[in-house]
Amino acid sequence: MKIHEYQARELLGAYGVAGSRGEIVSNATEAASAFKRFANPYCVAKVQVLAGGRGKAGGVQIVKTPQAAEEFCRRFIGKDFSTCQSGGKAENVRCVLITEDIKIREEYYLSIAVDRSKNLPIILFSKQGGVDIEETALKNPAAIQRIHFSPNSLPDESRIFSRVATGFSKESIPRQISSIAAKLAKLFVEKDASICEINPLALVSEDRVMALDAKITFDDNALFRHEDIKALKDPEEEDERERKAKEFGLSYVSMEGNVGCLVNGAGLAMATMDMIKLAGGEPANFLDVGGSATADQVREGFKIILQDTRVEAILVNIFGGIMKCDVIAQGVIEASKETRLRVPLVVRLEGTHVEEGRALLKNSGLRIISCSTIEDAADTAVKKAREFKELHVHSR
Amino acid sequence: MSILVDKETKVICQGITGKAGSFHAQKCLEYGTRLVAGVTPKKGGSFVGSIPVFDTVREAVQKTGATASMIYVPAPFAFSAIKEGIDAGIKLVVCITEGIPTLDMVKAVEYAKAQKARIIGPNCPGIITSDECKIGIMPGYIHKKGRVGVISRSGTLTYEAVWQLSSAGLGQSTCIGIGGDPVIGTGFMDLLEIFEKDPQTQAVLMIGEIGGSQEEEAAVYIQKNMKKKVAAFIAGMTAPKGKRMGHAGAIVSGSHGTAQEKIDALLGRGVAVIKNLSELGASLKKIL
């Protein structure tokens, strides 16, 4: 679960990590008043969206007058905003962060995540901040300090200090960095974060180090023990269909193509999408109905897929293990009847009770195309989608 | 021969009185697994089918001599269940539970390592040695005794692979679902090392997916240490960046963890990569 920058600032503040002075505003009037309080002599205005890459998209600007702050808010609040990292999905801007404009002397990078290859949390620190850390990692891996720690024993400041101390003009600078990193580690563990990133961690006047932007993501699986964090959730993080899917225990991700797919199991679902692509088509979605799908879940899955009007064929790929193919087939039949399915439906069943399942599909009286291999099913679905499209164009 | 589990392995089930636990424990028993006991606090003295239930793992282990555990305990309590199992002397913990907080698993893996126990999973279908021992939720009958070791991050995709291997007449030695989470107890590399030493296993099929860098690390390991043939399938070529694809661990972060990156790493180290999901069985047949 992602949170907004202003929420991350508050959380960091609660853990004793200082940021610039500022305030969140939701209209132009508030922006002008915030400007007057925090101008130094200017302010920075930042749209609050969950996607990264706001700066490049024009969502972060220095405003020099109260009027400019007002103007910024009028331009963005209530409007859709997207960045190169939005994945084509715009977010509605509801608020803007107005902070003092601080003169930055140096920019550092600090983050904590779980290092999956070591199975431990890791602090990443680089003196080259502000830029994309992935680029630094590629071009100059030595410029990144990596400090692993166990959630059972948080790293103390002196341990971090010994790793980040070199190359600063004054010892007080790495001291502050170590202190901030230790606080961030505490936050990371106590709140079950999955990523805590401060970029830039800035060196400003009087040799002070502060967090000028922060991104925090939390482990969805741990939200059950953090009511305070759960309350920060922005429902817009997921689109309507993703939300709906979750309610029924399904996992849905919208994509750009026209072949909808419904599969049991995440790995098989991804592999099915890949097969659609291999057959020359484009998947419209990822939809995992779970390893032990029920007929109800299949029906809800169909409804969600069909809300996407770009879908021109549906491919169902089920490997019946514990879940039997005849039960799934029954679910598919009911779902097609209930949704009055117009687009071609290709079903590939394999596994437990497959013969019974295929017979049910065949005798359903519906135009369901049954295939026995996934390759055949993907080819057929892509072909049928193409035919449906042509028919559709001609009938217009 | 096989790896990690065989017909002698004595298994208990933690969380046996839950819906999934009781169902699958009995399926394992039917398969032939020596499933000797179940554990659910405050349900000691009762039975699930013919399986006796104990209050604690310690008691179950003392009474039965079990060395392996299969866990269905709900996610919020899974960490303490794993710890309880290890404390009682369980050496192989197979955790089926999905949705365990990542930091709980960090602690669990750290604990297991210190106590010299092995965790498989979580969020996995389990482990099965064909015709001998099934610890998990996979459909037993699709597995046939044979020559291919299978290691997979997925569930149903593994069943697909197993089905094809069985249909192709190759069968499997042992098949391990290592789980779809970011932090797991046992990875590709650990198991490749064990398969390399197993006389029954003649080739290994690894099924990876987007997210993390386990497959890349395995590629390096294979080139350096494996004499046996290894083939790989990687799911998620079409997966968009930054989106979690069902599994908590299946996410491309930044530009890292893409399927292409993994395929390139594997091919670069001489590992056969199977692109067409329908050809898993046929491809293995070809390289064997």
Q: Give the model confidence (pLDDT) of B226-262 as tens digits.
A: 999 999 999 999 998 888 888 888 887 777 889 999 9
For residue B58, the SS3 value is: helix
Tell me the C-alpha distance between A387 and A366, whole Å: 18
**Longest CA span, chain B:** 57
Beta carbons within 8 Å of A204's beta carbon, 6+ residues apart: A102, A103, A104, A105, A210
Q: Please give the Cα distance from A170 to A189 (Å, whole number).
A: 30
**CA–CA separation, B84 and B112 (whole Å):** 11
Q: Which residue of B has its CA nearest to A319?
A: B156
pLDDT at B197: 96
pLDDT digits (tens, 9 = 90+) for B3-36: 999 999 999 999 999 999 999 999 999 999 999 9
- Closest chain A residue to the Cα of B108, Cα to Cα: A119
Write out pLDDT tens, residues A342-361. 999 999 999 888 999 999 99
Buried b (16+ CB within 10 A) or exposed e, A343-365: bbbbbbbbbbbbeebbebbeebe
Question: What share of chain A in percent tops pLDDT 90?
Answer: 73
Residues B213-226: what's their mean pLDDT? 96
Contact A345/A316 with Cβ under 8 angstroms? yes
Q: Among this protein's residues, is A350 annotated catalytic?
A: no
| Closest CA in chain A for residue B124 | A291
Residue-averaged pLDDT of chain B: 95
Min CA distance, A27 vs chain B (Å)? 31
Q: How confident is the model at residue A396 (pLDDT cuts 50, 70, 90)?
A: very low
Q: Do B237 and A114 touch (CB under 8 A)?
A: no
* Pairwise CB contact (< 8 Å): B160 & A268: yes
State the Cα angle at A115 between A131 and A216, rounded to 5°: 55
Burial class (CB in 10 A: 0-12, 13-18, 19+), A222: buried
Q: Which long-range contacts (CB under 8 A, 24 or more apart) does A152-155 make?
A: A152/B107, A152/B110, A154/A182, A154/A185, A154/A186, A154/A189, A155/A123, A155/A181, A155/A182, A155/A185
Average pLDDT rounded to a whole number, residues B68-97: 97
The amino acid sitting at B209 is E
Which is more confidently placed, B74 or A247? B74
* Alpha helix positions (H), chain A: 5-14, 28-38, 66-76, 133-139, 157-164, 172-190, 227-230, 240-247, 266-278, 295-306, 325-338, 354-362, 374-395
The residues pairing with B235 across neighbouring beta strands, listed in sequence order, are B209
Structure tokens at B229: 């043939």
Predicted pLDDT at A63: 97
Count of CB pairs separated by less than 8 Å, A with B: 190
Task: State the average pLDDT over residues A309-323.
Answer: 89
What pTM did the predictor assign? 0.93
Q: Which amino acid is present at A43? A: C
Cβ separation B255–A373 shorter than 8 A:
no
Note the pLDDT tens digit of each residue in B143-161. 999 999 999 999 899 999 9
Q: At what angle do helices A157-164 and A172-190 cross, to 10 degrees?
A: 130
Which residue of chain B is at minimal alpha-carbon distance from A374?
Answer: B278
Estimate to the nearest angstrom the gap between the alpha carbon of B63 and the chain centroid: 27
Smallest CA-to-CA distance from A226 within A198, A181, A193, A197 is with A193
Are the C-beta atoms of A283 and A261 separated by less than 8 Å? yes
Residue (of A151, A132, A152, A154) closest to A143 by Cα position: A132
CA distance A307 to chain B (A): 20
Of the residues A274, A373, A376, the best mutation for testing chain B's interface (the one with the most B CB atoms within 10 Å of its CB) is A274
Tell me which of B156, B165, B280, B283 to substitute to probe the interface with A (most A C-beta atoms closer than 10 Å): B156
Whether A254 contacts A233, CB under 8 Å: no
Mean pLDDT on A15-34:
96
Residue A395: pLDDT over 70: no
Average pLDDT of the segment spanning A96-100: 97
pLDDT value of position A295: 78
A66 preceded by a cis bond (ω within 30 of 0)? no
Q: Mean of the pLDDT values across residues A239-243?
A: 83
Q: Could you tell me which chain A residue has the CA closest to the CA of B254?
A: A134
d(CA A336, CA A345): 9
Q: What is the mean pLDDT of residues A216-223?
A: 96
Is the pLDDT score of A102 beyond 70?
A: yes
CB contact under 8 A, B240 and A271: no
pLDDT tops 90 at residue A381: yes
**CA pair distance B127, B96, nearest whole angstrom:** 10
Residues of B with Cβ-Cβ distance to A268 under 8 angstroms: 154-157, 160, 235
pLDDT band at A394 (very low <50, low <70, confident <90, very high): low
What backbone torsions phi and psi does residue A257 show, to the nearest 5 degrees?
Answer: -85, -165
Instruction: Considering only the beta carbons, identify the residue of B99, B157, B249 that sits closest to A268.
Output: B157
Side-chain-side CA neighbours of B139 within 13 Å: the count stands at 24
Contacts of A117 in chain B (CB under 8 A): 212-214, 217
List B24, B143, B247, B256, catalytic entry? B247
**SS3 state of residue A263:** strand
Least confident stretch, A91-100, A332-341, B98-107: A332-341
- Helices B259-268, B214-225: crossing angle, 10 deg rounding: 10
More confident of the two residues B254 and A193: A193
* DSSP string across B1-51: --SS--TT-EEEEETTTSHHHHHHHHHHHHHT-EEEEEE-TT-TT-EETTE
Nearest-CA distance from A206 to chain B in Å?
35
Please list every residue in chain B whose beta carbon sits closer than 8 Å to the beta carbon of residue A376: 278
> Do the Cβ atoms of A242 and A342 come closer than 8 Å?
no
Among the ranges given (A181-190, A347-356, B88-97), the one the predictor scored with the smallest mean pLDDT = A347-356
Helix axes A266-278, A374-395, angle to 10 degrees: 60
pLDDT given at position B252: 79
Judging contacts by C-beta atoms under 8 Å, the chain B residues touching residue A120 are 106, 110
Identify the band that residue A318 occupies on the pLDDT scale cut at 50, 70 and 90. very high
Grade residue A1 by pLDDT with cuts at 50, 70 and 90: very high
Measured between beta carbons, the chain A residues lying within 8 angstroms of B212 are 116-117
Q: Average the pLDDT over A263-268 and give the result.
A: 93
Q: To the nearest whole angstrom, how far is the Cα of A289 from the nearest Cα of chain B?
A: 9
**pLDDT (tens digit, 9 = 90+) per residue, A150-169?**
999 999 999 999 999 999 99
> What is the rounded average pLDDT for all residues in chain A?
92
Chain B residues near residue A121 by CB distance under 8 angstroms: 103, 106
- Phi, then psi, of A132 in degrees rounded to 5: -70, 120
Residue B176: pLDDT above 60? Answer: yes
